[in-house]
Amino acid sequence: MADDDRLLHILLVEDDQVDVMNVKRAFEKNKILNPLYVAPNGLEALRMLRDGSVPAQRRLVLLDLNMPAMGGIEFLRELRADPTLRLTPVVVLTTSGDEKDRLNAYDFHVAGYLRKPVEFPNFMELTAALNKYWTLVDMP
């Protein structure tokens, strides 16, 4: 994606540094040029979205569910209650296979619920598929 007005600002909300490194590595290997911002929990993610650390135009949140301070479901509750942030697209990227987590996430209108693959080649495939998705979808 070379056209700057098509770049998508991606906020990764993830507390596990190994997972953060895997996402960065997968972006690099898949030649994904979208700016990536990282927040270690929901509280920090909300701050970054509200204070403009992540540009307001064309942004997407990749959200882990199990985090300290403010977990993913609590983050979604706050995000959807905020009139300026409520339409922000969110894709859950988590290790949780718990049906309750999945249903709770969809109750907050997530764009997708993806389980993190354990092996890096599978994670790269997932990242490539996500990139294809957000290049095809008309994002706000």
Per-residue pLDDT reduced to its tens digit, 70-85: 999 999 999 999 999 9
Mean pLDDT over the full length of the chain: 90
pLDDT of residue 5: 61
Coil, strand, or helix at residue 118? coil
pLDDT of residue 45: 97
| CATH number assigned to the domain comprising residue 13 | 3.40.50.2300
Which stretches of the chain drop beneath a pLDDT of 50? Answer: 1-3
pLDDT of residue 83: 97
pLDDT of residue 123: 85
Residue with tokens 């859950």: 92
59 in a structural domain: yes
Residues spanned by the domain of 46: 4-134
54 in a structural domain: yes
Task: For residue 35, count other CB atoms closer than 10 A to its CB.
Answer: 12
139 in a structural domain: no
Look at the chain and report how many structural domains it folds into.
Answer: 1
User: Which stretches of 1-140 are DSSP H helices?
Assistant: 17-29, 42-51, 72-81, 99-107, 120-136
Cα distances from 112 to residues 19, 67, 107, 120, in angstroms, run: 18, 19, 11, 20
Coil, strand, or helix at residue 138? coil
- Contact criterion met (CB below 8 Å) for 30 and 1: no
Question: Model pTM greater than 0.75?
Answer: yes
60 in a structural domain: yes
d(CA 15, CA 80): 21
pLDDT of residue 1: 38
140 in a structural domain: no
